[in-house]
Structure 1
Amino acid sequence: MDKMKVTYEAMLGLAAEMVLDDAVQKFRLERINQAIDKALAAGDEDTFLRLANELNSIRPTS
């Protein structure tokens, strides 16, 4: 019985970590997209290229 409880708690912890990781990634993607929009509006090509590269490096592959 104790082994099942430990396993359940471990699985619950992994699920919580996955939810948190997903939320953090969505937040980062949104912030980068906003910064890209600002760079485009300002005509700042260097910042746009840097942010676009960063976005491509963290964007999920699906």
Structure 2
Amino acid sequence: MQTEANKAWATKDPKVAGWLRNFKLTPQQLGTLEQDMNQTSSPAQGAQKWIQANPKVIQAWFNG
């Protein structure tokens, strides 16, 4: 896999750059997210369920 990016975008949108730097999921977190998405009537509902159950994870993405 090769990644290409424009370094200037981080200064143009620092909130998104910060979120991307902070975005982390453990294998267990990813597993429960996938499980919730597969066991509800829609992936969006499953994701919402996971978000509600993991507020500290979400908060860390935005606050670092």
By percentage of residues, which structure has more helix?
1
* Fold equivalence (TM over 0.5): no
Tell me the TM-score normalised to structure 2 length. Answer: 0.32
Tell me the TM-score normalised to structure 1 length. Answer: 0.33
Q: Which protein shows a greater Rg? A: 1
